[in-house]
Amino acid sequence: MSARTPLPRWADIVLLPLLNLALAFLVSGLVVLMVGENPLHAVQVIIYGAFGYGDGFGYTLYYATNFIFTGLAFAVAAHAGLFNIGGDGQAYVAGLGAIVIALALDQTHWLLAMPAAMIGAALVGGFWAFIPGYLQAKRGSHVVITTIMFNFIAAALMVYMINRVLKPATTMAPESATLAVGGRVPQLRQFFSFFGYSPVNLSIVVALLALVFVYVLVWHTKLGYALRTLGQNPSASRYAGMSNSRLIMIAMTISGALAGMVAINEVMGVQNRLVLDFVAGSGFVGIAVALMGRNHPVGILFAALLFGALYQGGQELQFVIPGVTREMIVVIQALVILFTGAMEGLFRPALERTFMLFSPEQKARAVSVSTAESES
Amino acid sequence: MDFQVILSILDATLRLSTPLLLACLAGLYSERAGVFDIGLEGKMLAAAFAAAAVAAVYGSMWLGLLAGMAVSLGTTLLQGVAAITLRGNQLIAAVAINMLAAGLTTFLGQTWFGQGGRTPALGPNGRFAPIELPFVAELSGIPILGPLYAEVISGHYLLVYIAFIMVPVTWFVLFRTRFGLRLRAVGENPKAVDTAGISVNRMRYQAIIITGLLAGIAGAYFSIAQGSGFGNNMTAGKGYIALAALIFAKWKPVPAMFTCLLFGFLDALQIRLQSARLPLIGEVPVQAIQALPYILTVILLAGFIGKAVGPKAGGVPYVKER
């Protein structure tokens, strides 16, 4: 067999994802071409729509806020070797925690209501992820299946809660009472008129803090070390005296709490009430964001911005080019997950060979390795 | 509830459990061969769209069915390349397939037909018609059994009967043929199969080809039998319920049939019961019944009622030792 040397670090974390991303966009472009539209024009529209003017950029940041939270949620669990695809459901039920507290503190100030509601959302979202974590840790049920099931249970629960419990008798639409004063998170447009009418709000600051929090948690705390050990090798963490089941439950709870922050952005920052299906698939975008960002906060920030831009640009797209609807964005997102997540190995062998050709030092090492192998 | 109501609920049960059963059997082949498949939903959705689009354009249900199966097979093979050949994460591959199907069906539907993602309504040749089984008139004189045969057993689409015939067929293939033995072995202990000189990846591809074809029939059922044309997100999570049923049935064909019938029955009941009052319990919210299959699966998986243990090598790409 041919000797394989690992890629240099920068190629592994930057070049490979970019190549896979390029492939995803190429295929998306072909789809656009197939329906008889010009993909380059589409790209132009998306870029202008997402960054070209204040409103558009504000919307990009607003979408990115959600994706940072769900991306981090997926990443924290992934570091512990857990595949949490229940971010959607966790963010959805977290809306309950957010709205109940926000409504109760509506007559006070947002400085009080926002942190309190964040705790509420984190507790409920965390709890919704804790159960699958508990079942994985103590009963051995696969966390993937349980979180899928919990997404559906969350959907049913929320329809019931919104229609039967939270809906005021006077409203017809399935939604909770409206937040009027303290329950509203300040909008960035109140400080910078640049953002026009876009809904980007203070939650984005929380999202940026969450990025720092996750970075410190995963790489600079004892708990983070334990979580990564569990993710890399569960037997190693067990022999090192860590409690794997405890770590699984902690990782899932943190993951769910992070996903729950989406509720703050949506409920208190944008809708000012709890509405049906406010998460709108953000949990699944978070999977793509985390995969692309290699589960690292810096990567997640850029990936979330990219997807935020795609979402906002996609909205614009359907006005400018009627033939291309915003579902095209879901297609791009799926292709990104496919190529950067599942088909990650597509370019790796070729890339490894290329690097061997161009690096004499590595080539020498590879030759020595392969001779050592053939001798043994 | 009088007898007529019970009959109509049972009739609806068969109709609603058919796509679940087809998808569940589809997943059975894949998972028994060691390839986890949470992508059933996407395959069905893609197939439902393809079937409706082709049936609408060419006015033939058979072409529609073929198109549905072909598209489902294509998506399955794409997933297979990622998960088997490239040894990528099977779950991520499936999540991507589900999203791809959700996005592409709506996108192409809108650009091709311009009806907000719907396909045009189908003519009589584009859609499967209910089949009247023989002897309905002769048996109608018999009390209970007569109406049961006429209302519940007879008068379904061809695909319903195909689904239920597939149950014994699947059982036979998996447990009484050499192919089935090898397929199950690949899911339990691929190394042993490899040692015996059989290609693990080849076996897995064969298994997922069957998965793709069956999921294709399931998808086509939604749009060209039960419905008349494709609508956005038509499968509405049924692929995940089928997955739940598969786990609930502990990856066995005959229990899979009964589980799908149970879930189909819950669905039929839920439509019929729209917040009816039950004795003792009081008013049962529809949402509680809707969530029941998922809750039951979680409880079963947690081992509170029996234990569901999947194929041992499930979810792990096979790496041949050097």
Q: Which residues of A315-343 are buried (b: 16+ CB within 10 A; e: fewer)?
A: bbbbeebebbbbbbbbbbbbbbbbbbbbb
Q: Enumerate the residues of chain A whose CB falls inside 8 A of the CB of residue B97.
A: 334, 338
Between CA B68 and CA B51 the distance in angstroms is 4
Q: Is the pLDDT of residue A98 over 80?
A: yes
Residue A116 forms contact with B (CB below 8 Å): no
Residue in chain B closest to A158 (alpha carbons) equals B287
- Quote the minimal CA–CA distance from B82 to chain A in Å: 5
pLDDT at A376 over 50: no
CA atoms of A163 and B275, how far apart (whole Å): 13
**Residue B276 counted as domain residue:** no
Copy the structure tokens of residue B185.
């072995």
This complex has an ipTM of 0.86
In a domain, A365, yes or no: no
- Position A17 scores a pLDDT of 81
Chain B CB contacts of A31 below 8 Å: 104, 107
Asked if pLDDT for residue A174 goes beyond 50, the answer is yes
Q: Is residue A151 part of a domain?
A: yes
In a domain, A320, yes or no: no
pLDDT at A84: 93
Residue A73: per-residue pLDDT: 97
Q: Note the pLDDT of residue B89.
A: 82
| Chain B residues whose beta carbon lies within 8 Å of the beta carbon of residue A342 | 79, 82-83, 86, 88-90, 92-93, 96
**Distance from C-alpha of B290 to C-alpha of B88, rounded to nearest angstrom:** 34
Contact in structure between B90 and B31 (CB atoms under 8 Å):
no
Which two tokens mark B231? 């609508």
- Taking the C-alpha atoms of residue A341 and residue A336, their distance in angstroms, rounded to an integer, is 7
Q: How far apart are CA B52 and CA B108, in angstroms?
A: 12
User: Angle of helix A143-160 relative to helix A110-134, nearest 10 degrees?
Assistant: 130
CA distance to A91, B18, B308, per residue, from B246 (Å) = 27, 14, 10
A333–B103 CB contact, under 8 Å = yes
CB pairs under 8 A between A and B: 148
pLDDT of residue A225 exceeding 50: yes
What tokens appear for B122 in the block?
Answer: 């189908």
Tokens of A190: 């109140």
B134: closest CA of chain A, how far (Å)? 41
- In the block, tokens 């997540």 appear at A341
Cross-chain residue pair A330–B243, CB shorter than 8 Å: no
pLDDT in tens, B206-257: 999 999 999 999 999 999 998 888 988 888 889 988 988 898 888 999 999 9
A35 interfacial to chain B (CB closer than 8 Å): yes
Residue A326, domain member (yes or no): no
When divided into structural domains, chain B yields a total of: 1
Over chain B (322 residues), what is each successive 10-residue block's mean pLDDT? 80 93 96 91 96 92 95 95 88 89 90 82 83 78 79 86 96 96 93 91 95 97 91 88 87 94 86 64 75 84 71 81 62
CA–CA distances in Å: residue B129 to residues A338, B159, B221, B228: 38, 10, 11, 11
Among A144, A156, A343, the residue with its CB nearest the CB of B86 is A343
Candidate from B89, B243, B310 with C-beta closest to A341? B89
Is residue A145, in this structure, part of any structural domain at all? Answer: yes
A365 has pLDDT over 70: no
Q: Is residue B146 situated within a structural domain? A: yes
Determine contact, residues A230/A248, Cβ cutoff 8 Å: yes
3-state secondary structure (DSSP) of residue B118: coil
Nearest to B294 among A139, A149, A331 (CB): A149
A167 contacts: CB under 8 Å, gap ≥ 6: A174, A175, A176
Nearest chain B alpha carbon to A338: B96
Residue B19 lies in a domain: yes
How many CA atoms lie within 13 Å of B121's alpha carbon, on the beta-carbon side? 2
**Cβ pair A255, A47 in contact under 8 A:** no
Residue B309 domain flag: no
Instruction: Examine residue A81 and state whether it is found in any structural domain, yes or no.
Output: yes
Bridging pattern class, strands B277-278 and B282-283: antiparallel
Q: Report yes or no on B80 lying in a domain.
A: yes
Q: Domain tally for chain A?
A: 1
Q: Do A337 and B99 touch (CB under 8 A)?
A: yes
Question: For residues A112 and A149, what is the distance between their CA atoms, to the nearest angstrom?
Answer: 35
Any CB–CB contact under 8 A between B244 and chain A? Answer: yes
Q: Does the pLDDT of residue A245 top 80, yes or no?
A: yes
A140 to chain B: which residues are within 8 Å by CB? 303
How distant is the Cα of B85 from the closest Cα of chain A, in angstroms? 10
- Answer whether residue A172 is part of any domain: yes
Of A1, A144, A330, the CB nearest to B99: A330
Looking at the domain assignment, is residue A340 inside a domain? no
> Mutate which of A30, A150, A307, A325 to test chain B, going by most B C-beta atoms within 10 A?
A325
- The answer to whether the Cβ–Cβ distance between B298 and A334 falls below 8 Å is no
Q: Does B298 touch chain A (CB under 8 A)?
A: yes
Does the beta-carbon distance from A333 to B81 stay under 8 Å? Answer: no
* Average pLDDT value over all residues in chain A: 88
What burial class does residue B288 get, using C-beta atoms within 10 Å of its C-beta: 0-12 exposed, 13-18 middle, 19+ buried? middle
A residues 141-200 near B, CB within 8 Å?
Answer: 141-142, 144-146, 148-150, 152-153, 156-157, 159-160, 164
**Residue A326: closest C-alpha in chain B:** B107
Residue pair B239/B99 in contact by the 8 Å Cβ criterion: no
Using the predicted structure, report yes or no on whether residue A367 has a pLDDT greater than 70: no
Per-residue pLDDT tens for A36-71? 888 888 889 989 989 988 899 999 999 999 999 999
pLDDT greater than 60 at residue A91: yes
**A68–chain B nearest CA distance, Å:** 19
Residue B162 lies in a domain: yes
Would an 8 Å CB–CB cutoff place B287 in contact with chain A? yes
Beta-carbon count within 10 A of A174 CB: 16
Tell which residue, B163, B221, B211, B245, has the closest CA to residue B47: B221
| Structural domain of A187 | 63-303
Task: List chain B residues with CB under 8 Å of A78.
Answer: none
In this structure, which amino acid lies at residue A162?
Answer: I
A262: buried, middle or exposed (CB in 10 Å: 19+, 13-18, 0-12)? Answer: buried
User: Could you tell me which chain A residue has the CA closest to the CA of B99?
Assistant: A334
CB contact B77 to A (< 8 Å): no
Evaluate whether residue B24 is within a structural domain: yes
Neighbours of B284 (CB within 10 A): 16
Tell which residue, B171, B183, B176, has the closest CA to residue B209: B183
Please state, in angstroms and rounded to a whole number, the distance separating the CA atoms of residues A134 and B31.
Answer: 25
Residue A1 has pLDDT above 50, yes or no: no
Crossing angle for the helix pair B238-248 and B40-58, nearest 10 degrees? 130
The CA distance from A281 to A337, in Å, is 14
Give the model confidence (pLDDT) of A136-165 as tens digits: 998 888 888 899 899 999 999 999 999 888
Q: What kind and span of H or E run contains B168?
A: helix B158-176
Which domain range does residue B124 map to? 3-236
Distance from C-alpha of B139 to C-alpha of B229, rounded to nearest angstrom: 35
pLDDT at A370 over 60: no
CA distances to A94, A117, A215, A262, B145 from A120, rounded to whole Å, are: 8, 5, 23, 12, 57
Q: Which of residues 2-31 of A touch B (CB under 8 A)?
A: 31
In a domain, B293, yes or no: no
Alpha-carbon torsion (A163, A165, A167, A168), positive or negative: positive
